[in-house]
Amino acid sequence: MALDPLIADFLAKLPLVGGPAVSLDALRTAGEVQLRLLHGPLESIADVRTHGVLSSDGHSIRIRAYTPVTSNSAPLPAIVFAHGGGWFRCSLDLYDNPCRALAHATGCVVLSVDYRLAPENKFPVPLHDYYTALCWAASHADELGIDCTRLVVGGDSSGANLAAAATLRARDDVRGPAIAHQLLLYPPLDSAMSSTSYHEFATGYFLTRSTMEFCWTAYLNDKADGDSPWASPLRAASLANLPSATILVCEYDPLRDEGEAYARRLGEAGVATECHRLDGMVHACIHMLGVTPGAHRLFALAGSSLKRSLNLAAHA
């Protein structure tokens, strides 16, 4: 379908940010300011609290827990969520309202992970931090009031890359946490950036090809890192024996085709997978509830898909 007219209007007024003279701090600040302007009203939920867990190198990782309003006294399913931002920007605070909306839509406790950012902390440090948080959530389920049999990995954009990679790692780790489902929102999955959508939507649709080139350069130590399935999950030799998946991609997004390719490969490997294309949407629409009613579809689809999958998991 056509680009959402409200998003088209937003894009037409969008100031250009970038260029060789712009510092990393300026890029980070501009990105946060830009995205905050897109958020809708703050959503009410039952509880928000922050936890801390130590990484293997002694770094303290913050994990912010968002508990939805519910009449159910039983432990709730949980999403261990990694925020987007090209691995180099965005924060727990920026994702406060998206995480509230996600908790409300899915009925899950959302555990938002404050992983360390590139380029100060390159691959695989952000992945290690996210995986540490995932393992901690699984082992502290009683304390958190969550159901360890319905633990979901999730994220948007670069955060979805971390979630997909952590799922592969958990599968291959003999002591890895049990994951019930993966929720991947417009994920970058291959550093090659060779899909048709990368050419079709290279400029003019919020996320650009050149921005993704910068993101991958910031994240990876060198080009060889991109060969690792922990960096480029689409290059994994096998996707068998992974948990069920929900993948949402945006119609006008350079990353669209690789998300759909990953869904196809998961299905071919025998993994129950739902893939939905968000018609008329652009990258980062998790932030756009204040721009267009169309952004609500991301949360509606995530909620309905997770509820189906986690209900099946609960009765397996």
In this predicted structure, the answer to whether residue 315 has a pLDDT above a threshold of 70 is no
Amino acid residing at 144: L
d(CA 86, CA 155): 12
pLDDT at site 313? 55
Question: Any idea of the CA torsion for 214, 220, 223, 227, to the nearest 10 degrees?
Answer: -120
pLDDT at site 19? 55
In this predicted structure, the answer to whether residue 71 has a pLDDT above a threshold of 90 is no
108: left (phi over 0), alpha (psi -120 to 50) or beta: beta
DSSP string for residues in 10-76: HHHTPPP---TT--HHHHHHHHHHHHHTT--SPPP-SEEEEEEEE-TTSPEEEEEEEE---S--SPE
pLDDT at site 134? 98
Angle between helices 96-106 and 296-314 (to 10 degrees): 50
Instruction: Answer for the pair 61, 129: CB distance below 8 angstroms, yes or no.
Output: yes
CA 288 to chain centre: 15
3-state helix, strand, coil in the chain (%, to 5): 40, 20, 40
88: left (phi over 0), alpha (psi -120 to 50) or beta: alpha
Catalytic, out of 283, 287, 305, 309: 283
Distances (CA, A) of 306 to 76, 105, 292: 12, 10, 23
To the query of whether residue 227 is one of the catalytic residues in this protein, the response is no
pLDDT at site 20? 55
Q: Which of 25-29, 116-120, 223-227, 262-266 has the lowest mean pLDDT?
A: 25-29
To the query of whether residue 157 is one of the catalytic residues in this protein, the response is yes
Beta bridge partners of 50: 64
**Correct CATH for 5-314 of 3.40.50.300, 3.40.50.1820, 3.40.1170.20, 2.70.70.10:** 3.40.50.1820
Instruction: Answer for the pair 153, 106: CB distance below 8 angstroms, yes or no.
Output: no
Distances (CA, A) of 89 to 23, 126, 169, 197, 215: 13, 12, 24, 24, 10
In this predicted structure, the answer to whether residue 16 has a pLDDT above a threshold of 70 is no
Catalytic, out of 112, 157, 158, 195: 157
Considering the chain, what percentage of its residues have pLDDT values greater than 70? 97
d(CA 252, CA 283): 7
To the query of whether residue 197 is one of the catalytic residues in this protein, the response is no
Taking residues 122-151, what's their average pLDDT?
97
pLDDT at site 72? 83
Taking residues 84-90, what's their average pLDDT?
98
For 45-84, b/e burial (b = at least 16 CB within 10 A) is beeeeebebebeeeeebebbbbbbeeeeeebbbbbbbbbb
d(CA 147, CA 213): 39
In this predicted structure, the answer to whether residue 21 has a pLDDT above a threshold of 70 is no
Model confidence, pTM: 0.97
* Sequence spans of domains, the chain: 5-314
Taking residues 83-94, what's their average pLDDT?
98
* Average predicted confidence (pLDDT) for the chain: 95
Q: What is the CA radius of gyration of the chain?
A: 18
The helix or strand, by DSSP H or E, that contains position 296, with its residue range, turns out to be helix 296-314
Half-sphere exposure of 1 (CA within 13 A, CB side): 12
Amino acid residing at 199: H
**pLDDT tens digits along 243-275:** 999 999 999 999 999 999 999 999 999 999 999
**pLDDT tens digits along 149-200:** 999 999 999 999 999 999 999 999 999 999 999 999 999 999 999 999 999 9
Q: Which of 23-32, 59-68, 225-234, 304-313 has the lowest mean pLDDT?
A: 304-313
DSSP string for residues in 201-248: TSSSSSS-HHHHHHHHHHH-SSGGGGGSTTT-GGG-S--TTPPEEEEE
Catalytic, out of 197, 253, 276, 309: 253
How many residues are present in the chain?
Answer: 316
